[in-house]
A and B are shown apart, each in its own frame.
Chain A
Amino acid sequence: MDGGNSSVDVVVIGAGVNGSGVARDCALRGMRVALFERNDIAFGASGNSSGMIHGGPRYLTQDPEVTFRSCQDSGYIQKIAPHLLFRIPVLMPVERGGIAGKIELLGLDGFFEAYDRFQPLKRGKPHLRLTADELQAAEPGLLGVGAGGISFDEWGIDGNRLCVANVVDAVEHGATAQVHTSVTTIERDENGAVSGVKFRDELTHEEGRLDCRVVVNATGAWAPITAALSKLNPEVARVRPGKGTHVVLDRRVSNYAILTKAVDGRSIFLLPWQNVSILGTTDDDFYGDLDHVTANSDEVRYLFEAVARVFPGIRQARAIGTTAGVRPTLYEWGKHEDALSRDHEIVDHGPQGAPGMFSMLGGKLAGYRWFAEEMSDVVAERLSNQTACHTHSMPLPGGEEVIAPEEFAVANGISGLAAVRMIYRHGGRSRQLAERMASDPEQKRVLCDCEPVLEAEVRHVVRGELARTVEDVSRRTRLGLGACGGMRCAASCGAVVADELGQPPSWGRESARQFLVSAGRRRLPALNPAQARQEAMLSASALASLGSGETPRSGENAQ
Chain B
Amino acid sequence: MKLVVVGAGAAGTASAWAASSRADVIVLCDRDGDTALAGGALLTGGADDVPLSFSETAAVTEFFEKLNYWRLQPDRVVSDTGMLLACAGLTDWQLPASRFDALQEGATVGVVAWGTNESESRLLARALREQLAAQGLHFEAIAIAGAGRWADTPSADIAGYLDTAPGFAELEAGLKTQCEKLAAALFPPVLGVAENLGTFLEKSLSLPCGEWAGALRSTAGHRFASRRDALFQAVGVEMRGDRAESLARTADGWKIEFRGGGSLLADRIVLACGGLASGGIRLGSSAETLSGAPAASLSWKAPGDVVLDGTHVSSTGAASGLDLSHLGLDALQRIGLQADRAGGLRAPGLFGAGALLAGRPRTLLEAVVSGLAAGSAAITHV
Q: Could you list which residues of chain A lie within 8 angstroms of chain B, going by C-beta atoms? A: 296-298, 300-301, 304, 319, 442-443, 445-446, 455, 487-488, 491-492, 495-496, 499, 504-506, 508-509, 512, 517, 520-521, 524-530, 532-533, 535-542, 544-547, 550-556
Contacts and interface: CB of A to CB of B under 8 A. Distances in A.
A541 B218 CA distance: 13
B37 A537 contact: yes
A449 to B, nearest CB: 8
A443 B79 CA distance: 22
A524 B329 contact: yes
B277 A554 contact: no
Best-surrounded residue of A443, A517, A521, A529 (most CB of chain B within 10 A): A529
A301 B39 contact: no
A529 B126 contact: no
Contacts of A545: 39, 79-81, 83, 85, 215
Interface string B130-164: 11000000000000000000011000000000000
Nearest to B46: A544
20 contacts: A296-B326, A301-B319, A443-B119, A505-B127, A506-B127, A517-B329, A525-B318, A529-B278, A529-B280, A529-B322, A532-B277, A532-B322, A532-B332, A536-B329, A536-B335, A537-B362, A547-B81, A547-B83, A551-B328, A554-B328
B117 interface: yes
Interface in B200-226: 215-216
Interface string B100-125: 00000000000000000111101110
Contacts of B349: none
Nearest to A317: B319
Given A532-B332, A536-B332, A540-B362, A296 B325 contact: yes
B180 interface: no
Interface residues of B, number: 54
Contacts of B38: 541
A504 B130 contact: yes
Nearest to B214: A545
A496 B123 contact: yes
Interface in B276-328: 276-280, 300, 317-328
A529 B320 contact: yes
Nearest to A491: B81
A495 to B, nearest CB: 4
A491 B39 CA distance: 15
Contacts of B182: none
A319 B319 contact: yes
Nearest to B45: A544
Nearest to B124: A495
B130 A505 contact: yes
Best-surrounded residue of A296, A533, A546 (most CB of chain B within 10 A): A533
Contact of A520 (B278, B318, B329): B329
Best-surrounded residue of A443, A508, A524, A530 (most CB of chain B within 10 A): A524
Given A301-B318, A541-B215, A545-B215, A505 B123 contact: yes
Q: What are the 9 closest A-B residue pairs judged by CB atoms, nearest first?
A: A553-B328, A529-B321, A505-B127, A536-B332, A532-B278, A442-B119, A536-B277, A297-B318, A529-B278
Contacts of B152: 446
A529 B321 CA distance: 6
B325 A495 contact: no
Contact of B325 (A512, A525, A541, A546): A525
Contacts of A551: 328-330, 333
A1 to B, nearest CB: 27
B318 A528 contact: yes
Contacts of B330: 550-553
A460 to B, nearest CB: 15
Given A545-B83, A547-B83, A528 B321 contact: yes
B95 to A, nearest CB: 16
B88 interface: no
B329 A521 contact: yes
Nearest to A314: B319
A535 B215 contact: no
Contacts of B189: none
A320 to B, nearest CB: 11
B7 interface: no
Contacts of A495: 81-82, 123-124, 126-127
A454 B130 CA distance: 25
Contacts of B4: none
A551 B120 CA distance: 27
B195 interface: no
B37 A524 contact: no
Contact of A530 (B126, B300, B332, B362): B300
A311 B300 CA distance: 24
A506 B151 CA distance: 25
Interface in B48-88: 79-83, 85
B34 interface: yes
A495 B123 CA distance: 6
B332 A535 contact: yes
A556 B126 CA distance: 32
B319 A499 contact: no
Interface string B324-354: 1111111111010000000000000000000
Nearest to A507: B130
Contacts of B151: 445
Contacts of B326: 296-297, 554
A297 B323 contact: yes
A529 B278 CA distance: 5
A249 to B, nearest CB: 11
B275 A546 contact: no
Contact of A540 (B83, B85, B325, B333): B333
Contacts of A541: 37-39, 215
A555 B328 CA distance: 8
A445 B328 contact: no
A527 B319 contact: yes
A533 B277 contact: yes
Contacts of B328: 521, 524, 551-556
